[in-house]
Amino acid sequence: MEWRGLPLLKNPCDLWTLTDLLQRLKPRVIVETGTHWGASALYFAEMMALFQLPCVVITIDFNPKWTFDPATKSIHSLIGLSTDLAIVAQVDRKIGEVASKDDHVLVLLDSDHSRDNVLEEMRLYSRFVTPGSYLVVEDTNVNGHPSFPAHGPGPWEAVQEFLASTDAFEVDRDCERFLLTFNPGGWLKRVKPL
Ligand SMILES: C[S@@+](CC[C@H](N)C(=O)[O-])C[C@H]1O[C@@H](n2cnc3c(N)ncnc32)[C@H](O)[C@@H]1O
183 exposed, middle or buried (CB, 10 Å; 0-12, 13-18, 19+)? Answer: buried
Q: Give 169 Cα–ligand 1 centroid separation in angstroms.
A: 24
> How confident is the model over 43-58, as pLDDT tens digits?
999 999 999 999 999 9
Domain count, the chain: 1
Residues 38, 65 contacting (CB under 8 angstroms): yes
Neighbour-count burial for 29-60, b at 16+ CB within 10 Å, e otherwise: bbbbbbbbbbbbbbbbbbbbeeeeeebbbbbb
Q: Give 60 Cα–ligand 1 centroid separation in angstroms.
A: 8
Q: Give 153 Cα–ligand 1 centroid separation in angstroms.
A: 17
Report the CATH number at residue 150. Answer: 3.40.50.150
> How confident is the model over 136-193, as pLDDT tens digits?
999 999 999 999 999 999 999 999 999 999 999 999 999 999 989 999 999 999 999 8
Q: Is the CB of 81 under 6 A from ligand 1?
A: yes
Which residue range forms the structural domain that includes residue 79? Answer: 2-190
> How confident is the model over 100-145, as pLDDT tens digits?
999 999 999 999 999 999 999 999 999 999 999 999 999 999 999 9
- Kindly report the number of other CB atoms within 10 A of residue 186's CB atom: 28
Going by DSSP bridges, is the β-strand pair 134-137/187-190 parallel, antiparallel, or unpaired? antiparallel
Q: Is the CB of 117 under 6 A from ligand 1?
A: yes
